[in-house]
Amino acid sequence: MDKIQAAIESLGGKLEDVERTRIFISDIAHWEAVARAHGERFAEIRPANTLVQAQLIGEEYLVEIEAEATVSSKE
């Protein structure tokens, strides 16, 4: 989630600009820990969210998170 925040900030936005997240986890047994971590970062923002179990590109990958944000231009 640090990577997501850094990407948004590099465009002049902030984490509060996130409107939707999608979480893909390789093992559904870990959904509570993943949801808890997501909740800690987005508790006040409360973006729409989807969490699904999916086979990720490699066994070493456990979680993938997509985020959609709308960043207003400063013009």
Give the H or E element holding residue 10.
helix 2-10
The pTM of the whole model exceeds 0.75? yes
Which residue segments constitute the domains of the chain, with CATH numbers given? 2-69 (3.30.1330.40)
- The confidence score (pLDDT) of residue 20 equals 98
- The confidence score (pLDDT) of residue 74 equals 67
**What pLDDT tens digit does each residue of the chain (75 aa) get?**
999 999 999 999 999 999 999 999 999 999 999 999 999 999 999 999 999 999 999 999 999 999 999 998 765
- The confidence score (pLDDT) of residue 11 equals 92
Give the H or E element holding residue 39.
helix 31-42
Choose among 35, 15, 6: nearest CA to 23: 35
